[in-house]
Chains A and B, each alone.
Chain A
């Protein structure tokens, strides 16, 4: 059979099957569409939260406080040392006078307290900006530990608790998405496998006839696999449309939330097609093996 004839046959048979079992196909697509919607909502929330946390990480600094009265060459040595870390993106020296000025600004109305000080209690310091990929509690902790031992360094601080808490939140969301993803995807394989099994049962007379006239297993299987893949695609598209509508409504109340990128959506639809085909394949293979 030429490739074109075979493709045409597969399309004909698949649409014939979808038409024949219209009601059950619609029901299973709706069930799967809503299950996928729940998963997509979770993934979208995770995406947005991790973006917020990523942006916050971008703003994270490691502060290196220097001892008072250091020579310029010691300060330069510390600066050079800081640049030697792969994870460091930029280093800014903050003289103690500027630090006091920043403190004054931060206090706002209470800045009069600063004016009462006779001497500047704040030390010179370096502000380290981390490279994005290294903005983790672990890496910050690692370099902070090392820098703390250097000559001329009084203390090293970073928002340890904040960073770790943020990381835990994101990890929690990822774990939830992962677990939910597995459950939803497995249930999709199961639902499609069952829908196709019903399709097989209703069409088993046709399958027997096809076998009697010499149809290969592939000839019989492929339309069913296509049917499963088609259900997967339609459910995924349904879920994405529903999510898009919810997103449009939601973004009125929560401006700034992000939607999935087009390539992400395409990947998701393709994944659902593969899962649908897999569910179908399991069902028809089981039947033909008997």
Chain B
């Protein structure tokens, strides 16, 4: 039986002023479990900023970001660490620890989550085999190609079995052949149940895969090819304030004439490609 769709991350009425002339305005989108979503827009459209707000490296001026049980409006410094241990993040520039081996780079994410060395060693074989780098586990990043370095970054991102992986232009520094390899790897991870939100400016790349795509332009979402509703996630958060906001949000939508079914979901197509 296919797993029931539920929202695992969402952005709600988010606004953020990025410069004097550019503001992200009223951004809304949600990602369900196991979904693969492209976030597309030209360079400088605010894709990276949105991702940064999803791993709480930045805060919205208004609106909120919810990832799992973490809500941006009530995040503390200490809870940011907990959030980041539950998500995976991949960057264009890989961000690897240059003075450590492949093994150590991946292990660091597991160590900060409080896992012991014996457990790390036990799981490492599987993780590194999945990204095809087990044979290079004792190499340092400088000895690896760009594609291999990105694989290490992906291995680190999935080391703690996150429910969502945020990828910020993960193929931006790679040639088309390696790009295809990395995309295949990300799809493989996604098929294991991890949702992937991939930000890119490469429209061709997006077209070739035909997944749900959110288009960002002039600081707004101009198109979302498969929108899902945020109700489930909001209901699962026990904070009464958030619940109230969710109700208000739902009421507003009903007021705008959108129909709602008995489970709290609007009659919109479910996402997932």
- A34 to nearest B CB, angstroms? 31
A217 interfacial contact with B, CB 8 Å: yes
Indicate if the CB atoms of A206 and B81 lie closer than 8 Å: no
| Given A2-B116, A208-B95: A213 in contact with B108 (beta carbons within 8 A) | yes
Q: Point out the residue from A205, A210, A216 that lies within 8 Å of B108, measured CB to CB.
A: A210
With A9-B111, A219-B112 in contact, do A214 and B82 touch (Cβ < 8 Å)?
yes
Return the contact of A212 from the options B86, B95, B99 (Cβ within 8 A).
Answer: B95
**B55-A212 in contact (CB<8A):** yes
Interface centre among A208, A209, A210, A215 (most CB of B within 10 A): A209
Are A206 and B97 touching (Cβ within 8 A)? Answer: yes
State how many angstroms separate the Cβ of B127 from the closest Cβ of chain A: 14
- Determine if A217 and B99 form an interchain contact, defined as CB atoms under 8 angstroms apart: no
Docked Cα-Cα span, A2 to B114, in Å, equals: 7
Residues of A within 8 A of B81 (CB): 214-216
B83 touches A214 (CB 8 A): yes
Contact A214 B97 (CB under 8 A): no
The count of chain B contact residues (Cβ–Cβ below 8 Å) is 26
A16 contacts the other chain (CB 8 A) = yes
- The A interface is mostly helix, strand or loop, or mixed, namely helix
Name the residue on B nearest A216 (C-beta). Answer: B81
Given A2-B116, A5-B117, A16-B99, does the pair A212, B84 have CB atoms closer than 8 Å? yes
Do A215 and B97 touch across chains, with their CB atoms under 8 A apart? no
Whether, in the assembled complex, A22 has its beta carbon less than 8 Å from a beta carbon of chain B, the answer is no
Answer whether A214 and B95 are a contact pair too, CB < 8 Å, given A1-B111, A2-B116, A9-B111.
Answer: no
Q: Is A20 an interface residue (CB 8 A)?
A: yes
Decide if B19 is an interface residue (CB 8 Å cutoff). Answer: no
Q: Which of A175-214 contact B (CB under 8 A)?
A: 205-206, 208-214
Give B165 Cβ to nearest chain A Cβ, in Å: 13
Which partner residue on chain A sits nearest B93 by CB separation?
A205
| Cα(A9)–Cα(B95), bound, Å | 21
Alpha-carbon distance between A205 and B55 when the two chains are bound, in angstroms: 18
A1-19 interface code vs B (CB 8 A; 1 in, 0 out):
1100100110000001000
Q: Let me know if B240 is at the binding interface, CB within 8 A.
A: no
B residues in contact with A217, CB < 8 Å: 77
Pairwise interchain contact B84-A20, C-beta atoms closer than 8 A = no
A11 to chain B, nearest CB (A): 13
A211 to B77, CA, bound (A): 11
Cross-interface CB contact of B114 among A1, A16, A209, A212, cutoff 8 Å: A1
Q: Which residue of A lies closest to B110 (CB)?
A: A213
**Could you give, for residues 189-233 of chain B, a 1 whenever the CB lies within 8 Å of some chain A CB and a 0 otherwise?**
000000000000000000000000000000000000000000000
Q: Please name all residues of chain A whose beta carbon is closer than 8 Å to the beta carbon of B113 when the two chains form the complex.
A: 214
Closest Cβ neighbor of B82 among chain A residues: A214
Residues of A contacting B238 with CB < 8 Å?
none
Residues of B close to A219: CB separation below 8 A:
112
Q: Which of A212, A213, A216 has the most CB of B within 10 A?
A: A213
A20 to B97, CA, bound (A): 13
- Are A213 and B85 touching (Cβ within 8 A)? yes
| Structural contact, B116 and A209, CB atoms closer than 8 A | no
- Bound Cα distance from A107 to B38, whole angstroms: 109
A209 contacts B77, C-beta separation under 8 Å: no
B108: which A residues are within 8 A, CB to CB?
Answer: 209-210, 213, 215
- Mask, B146-158, CB within 8 Å of A = 1, is 0000000000100
A216 & B84 in contact (Cβ 8 Å cutoff): no
Which single residue of chain A is at the shortest CB-CB distance from B108? A213
Given contacts A16-B99, A20-B99, A209-B97, contact A214 B114 (CB under 8 A): no
What 1/0 flags go to A215-233 for Cβ under 8 Å of B? 1110100000000000000
Least CB distance from A164 to B in Å reads 59
In-complex Cβ contact of B96 among A1, A9, A209, A214 (8 A) = A209
With both chains docked as a complex, state the minimum distance between the C-beta of B194 and any C-beta of chain A, in angstroms. Answer: 16
Complex: how many Å from CA A2 to CA B83? 21
- Whether B112 pairs with A216 at a CB distance below 8 angstroms is yes
Cβ of A17 to closest chain B Cβ, rounded Å: 10
- Is A213's CB under 8 angstroms from B114's CB? no
Q: How far is the CA of A60 from the CA of B17 in the complex (A)?
A: 82
Q: Apart from A206-B99, A213-B89, A213-B156, what 12 extra A-B contacts exist at CB < 8 Å?
A: A1-B115, A1-B116, A5-B117, A16-B99, A205-B98, A206-B97, A208-B95, A212-B55, A212-B57, A213-B84, A215-B112, A216-B78
Sample of 8 A–B contacts (CB below 8 Å): A2-B116, A5-B117, A210-B108, A213-B84, A213-B156, A214-B86, A215-B112, A217-B77
Interface on A for B, CB 8 Å cutoff? 1-2, 5, 8-9, 16, 20, 205-206, 208-217, 219
4 A-B pairs closest in CB distance:
A214-B85, A214-B84, A1-B114, A213-B109
